[in-house]
Amino acid sequence: MESIQNPDQYEAIHSEGPTLVIAGPGTGKTYTIIQRVLYLIRDRKVKPEQIMIVTYTVKAAKELMTRLTNELSRQGIEINLHEMYIGTFHHICRRLLKEFREYTRLERNFIETDQFEQQYMVYEHLADFEEIPNFELVVQSSYINNRTGEEVTVPPWKRCRTICQYVNRLSEELMKADDMIRSRDEKIRVLGWMMKRYEKLARKKNFLDFTKLQTEAYYILSEKENVRRRVLEKIRYILVDEYQDTNYIQERLVQILGGRERTIFVVGDDDQSLYRFRGATVANILQFQKHFGSSCRVITLHTNYRSGQGIVSFCMRWMAKPDWFSWERMGHLYRYRKGLLESGGGKESVPSVVRITAEEDDRLFEDRVCHFIEELKRKGCI
């Protein structure tokens, strides 16, 4: 991609106050984030430790660090990037908990667990969860196969995974076990007791799972005024990548860290919201402007540097098929208006090949996907 900023990128990089950048595929969102950081450090004289950059994955954080290091070196700017808060929400929450350890509710020598260890802890105590009255309303031990009519047993390990998914999702939504137990809905009461038993078990083993990293960081920032004040005095600029993939608690963390100055810069694309099954909600990006008020700016990057005009045009036609904007007439924002344009940056003009396949038989579709992956492996592509 060209090193010269296009007008949309320039406007985003130099924006003030809360800013939402809608960046469709190939529009240079990582480039824009890097140039935004350079602008803050080089032109605004912001110290690295006053900047927080949140990425969705560890891989994205490493790529950002590498590209930012290279660009700083190219411009002869010497700073220590390790002073900057860069990483996933979990990484940054972990760092905050270490810095303010004495204000947390964590016991000494806690054990940080990954997804497997969390699930194995539940597996060792599955019988305790199954003793919850009406547990089968939420986590079934068997089901009837609609195609064959046969009863199928759900393996214990899979039931444990379901328990962890429920507990994690409810924790990320900041639900309280005691409140759920008092519900009139039987399923919600079961979920409340499930959550309560899990929390008791985690405390007993002194386990800290990924979700707890976020909820505990949220606790010290929302409940401890002195901690919040010290963090806001230190971190002055927040940049969040892939904002469409954030969940409820992550949105709450962003709002707290934004403070009164609202120096929040988020980048994303509502069309690429893919992680609802992990608790992400596209509502965060759709309602960003509503949450941050009239001072919020929404800037759209229009120029695609990745694909030819044929693919870009097809993408726009395909996404325009549903009547997204009928929701606007009912007072709801369901999708941001976009208009991608091919950059014309010296790419050879060749016909584009686009194909969309839809299989009526799900098994046939899965077989095709598996075959495609195996072919890529055989050819050494992956």
In tens digits, the chain (382 residues) has pLDDT values of 446 889 999 999 999 999 999 998 889 999 999 999 999 999 999 999 999 999 999 999 999 999 999 999 998 888 888 888 999 999 999 999 999 999 999 988 889 999 999 999 999 999 999 999 999 999 999 988 887 888 989 999 999 999 999 999 999 999 999 999 999 999 999 999 999 999 999 999 999 999 999 999 999 999 999 999 999 999 999 999 999 999 999 999 999 988 777 789 999 998 888 887 777 888 889 888 888 877 889 999 988 888 877 888 888 777 777 766 665 555 566 778 777 777 765 455 566 655 556 556 666 777 888 888 898 888 888 8
Structure tokens at 266: 């988020």
What is the chain's alpha carbon radius of gyration, rounded to the nearest angstrom?
24
Beta bridge partners of 54: 87, 240
pLDDT attached to residue 1: 43
pLDDT attached to residue 331: 58
Quote the pTM value: 0.82
| Order of strands, sheet of 85-87, starting from the edge strand that comes earlier in the sequence | 85-87, 51-54, 237-240, 264-268, 19-23, 297-301
Cα separation, 282 vs 260, in Å, equals 24
pLDDT attached to residue 360: 60
May I ask the CATH class of domain 7-95+215-352? alpha beta
Q: CB neighbours of 230 closer than 8 A, spacing ≥ 6?
A: 100
pLDDT attached to residue 363: 66
Structure tokens at 212: 């707890």
Structure tokens at 64: 């950002």
User: So where are the chain's domains?
Assistant: 7-95+215-352, 111-205
Task: Concatenate the DSSP letters of all residues of 186-223 into one string.
Answer: HHHHHHHHHHHHHHHHHHHHTEE-HHHHHHHHHHHHHH
Per residue in 261-316, pLDDT (tens digit) is 778 999 999 888 888 777 788 888 988 888 887 788 999 998 888 887 788 888 87
Place of tokens 């597996």: 123
Task: Concatenate the DSSP letters of all residues of 275-305 into one string.
Answer: -GGGT--THHHHTHHHHH-TT-EEEEE-EES
Beta bridge partners of 303: 341
pLDDT attached to residue 362: 61
pLDDT attached to residue 163: 97
pLDDT attached to residue 2: 43
